[in-house]
Structure 1
């Protein structure tokens, strides 16, 4: 009879011990002990190999999903610059529609590429609660009419790559309003 591991390869033949009423010689006892030691070492090596396979598979998945983190981080300032360019355009400048339209199309395309690769923009709004997992407080100021710990100004958007933070959103936070 052959025992098999989950991968289907034989572990070893059925182990046959001498009958219980027969006293084995010291040589047989030594061979049984050696056999048991080798079997134990084999089973440990098999478990180590399985653990290494699982670790390698996880590393491969992580590399596939998060391998572009550096490139993504390098593209974030491009997104910021395009966003600021659109925000800075006055109504008079918007009359030069071709330039503004070009910047809008470029930013839209960059957002499409981000979405295709699992990059999400974190866009907090004033009044939202500060979340240290997604936001970085750049300053804190007492602002009447606000709740302590709420966002009062957004300097830069944040970005997530799948479930990992690439860059926190840079925000100003309200402290306890001065009395």
Structure 2
């Protein structure tokens, strides 16, 4: 069984004992005592108010962190696959080029390419990827289109799309790739 530790202050011969001075306490002015009591109370109230303020700030910060984490989690769920989606866009482009090169051929290979392209678009839609497919004659929109070239073309207005080189894609509401288009530069006249 362990021995109890000794209190070093009890055994210290040089330690002075502090005695309560009753005479000095009786000589205190009651008004001074009330003032010091009020000052002590005000100090306690000020400390309480400071602690309440610190607590409220800490609670607000914790709530902000919780909201930020929920928003980040939601964005990660919604946009986390954007890198993979961008990497799949060239696959779409190559399948589209293969169909364009095949022309009107109606053999099994072309049918397989069409089915593969259809399946890829179905997967895109399932994951919130939508196509930005402008038509010739639409107005150029810098939010969704990238001008690859400008050329004057009769019977068009400046800013009209005159050629679509590649479709663009959105992931939910974020642009993955703008549609690549040619734009008319016909001067107003």
TM-score interval for Structure 1 and Structure 2 normalised by the shorter chain: 0.7 to 0.9
Find out whether 1:41 has 2:50 as its counterpart.
Answer: no
Distance 1:174 1:31 in 2: 76
Please state whether the residue corresponding to 1:136 is helix, strand or coil. Answer: strand
Find out whether 1:90 has 2:100 as its counterpart.
Answer: no
Distance 1:114 1:75 in 2: 9
Find out whether 1:62 has 2:75 as its counterpart.
Answer: yes
Q: Is the 8 A contact 1:147 1:174 kept in 2?
A: yes
Distance 1:42 1:178 in 2: 65
- In structure 2, the gaps of 5 or more residues are 1-33
Counterpart in the other structure of 1:122: 132
- In structure 1, the gaps of 5 or more residues are 1-21
Shift of 1:69: 0.2
Aligned partner (choices 36, 44, 61) of residue 31 of structure 1: 44
TM value normalised by structure 2:
0.79
Shift of 1:108: 0.3
Shift of 1:151: 0.3
Shift of 1:125: 1.1
Shift of 1:178: 8.5
Find out whether 1:110 has 2:125 as its counterpart.
Answer: no
Distance 1:121 1:81 in 2: 15
Q: Aligned-residue CA RMSD in angstroms?
A: 1.5
Counterpart in the other structure of 1:176: 186
Q: Which has the higher strand share?
A: 1
Shift of 1:90: 2.8
Counterpart in the other structure of 1:131: 141
Counterpart in the other structure of 2:94: 81
Please state whether the residue corresponding to 2:61 is helix, strand or coil. Answer: helix
Find out whether 1:142 has 2:144 as its counterpart.
Answer: no
Distance 2:139 2:172 in 1: 22
Please state whether the residue corresponding to 1:25 is helix, strand or coil. Answer: helix
